[in-house]
Structure formats: C-alpha cells, structure tokens
Amino acid sequence: MTDTGRIHIYYGNGKGKTTAAMGLVMRAAGTGLRVLVFQFLKDNTSGERIVLEGLDNVTCLPGKENVKFSRQMSSGEKEEVKRYNNKALDEIAKLAASFDVLLLDESLCAVKLGLLNGDKLSGFLQHKPRGLEVILTGHAVSEKVQALADYVTEIRKVKHPYDKGVSSRQGIEY
C-alpha cells in the first residue's frame, strides 16, 4: 500500500460490527491485498471464517477452541484466556508486517472484559507497521484506543429480536 495504514473501529451495542469489518476484509481481499484475521472470544466456526479461509490472500489465525461467554468462565479460566489472547497479540505483532490489512475482531470486547491487556493493544496500534490497515471491533472502546483511530463508527441498536428473547441465528447473527 502506498499510504500509511489507518486504524478503523466498529463498536457499539448494535448488530453489524463484525459484518462491517468482514465487508472491509472482503473488499481488501478482492483487490489483492494480503489480509490477516484473528477473532478474540470466538471459536473457529463462524460462517464468515469458513468463507475467508477459502480465499488465497486471507490468512485466518486459529483462535482458542471451546470459548465460553466470559460470564460462564471461572476466574482461572479467565486468566488462561487472557494469557492466550495476550500471547496471540504478541504473535500477530510479529506477523503483521507481512500483511496489508489486519482484523482484530472482538479485540475491544476482550479488553473491556479484562481478557486482553488494553495497554498491549494500544502499544501495538502505536507501533504497528507503517502501511498496515487495522480493523478493531467490539462493544466499547477506550478513549486511548479511540484517540489512535482514524475511522470510528458507532453501531447503535435501535431494535433487536434478542430484546424479545429470540436467540441468535446461524448465518445471520453468527
């Protein structure tokens, strides 16, 4: 890429953060850019991941298997997930220079839940490779990370079937 890479944030309580990020990943991949994807707090079975793994210039790093919702984790499990996520970000930092675009899906949620070190994420963003475009998603974003971003999009829920007790549906919400 000829321009310095930018930082994109999709956050909020509305549906569509990962969907928007995946759209940008698809656009980048479609123009021949090399894309690296890592999903925090998700196992390796999402519908979008299945499609992305079939694209030549997209690399999906494996996430932790058998991921529970944080409210279902013991304190020991939370510490284990935090160690895993921090180590994953260290590995991503080593690989990042070989890519044009990096998606850190649910990284903002991982920070908010204490399952990823926020200073480590901020440090990575401050020292990312010059041409790397970085996309972050999650429910909330710290002022520190938001200040580093070039694009910040808040996705706000107005209405959602979950409010009426309707479960998420495969292929639509995940």
Q: Is the pLDDT of residue 1 over 50?
A: no
**Dist CA 38 CA 173 (whole Å):** 18
Q: What is the mean pLDDT of residues 158-162?
A: 87
| Predicted pLDDT of residue 84 | 96
Q: pTM here?
A: 0.92
Quick check: 2 pLDDT over 60? no
**Per-residue pLDDT reduced to its tens digit, 47-102:** 898 899 999 999 999 988 777 788 888 899 999 999 999 999 999 999 999 999 99
Res. 25: pLDDT tops 70: yes
Are the beta carbons of 5 and 149 closer than 8 angstroms?
Answer: no
pLDDT tens for each residue of 109-147: 999 999 999 999 999 999 999 999 999 999 999 999 999
Q: Quick one: tokens of 161? A: 């079937």
Inter-residue long-range contacts of 141-150, CB under 8 Å, 24+ positions, other chains counted: 141/9, 141/11, 141/108, 142/111, 142/118, 144/118, 145/9, 145/108, 145/111, 145/118, 145/121, 146/9, 148/7, 148/122, 149/7, 149/8, 149/9, 150/6, 150/7, 150/8
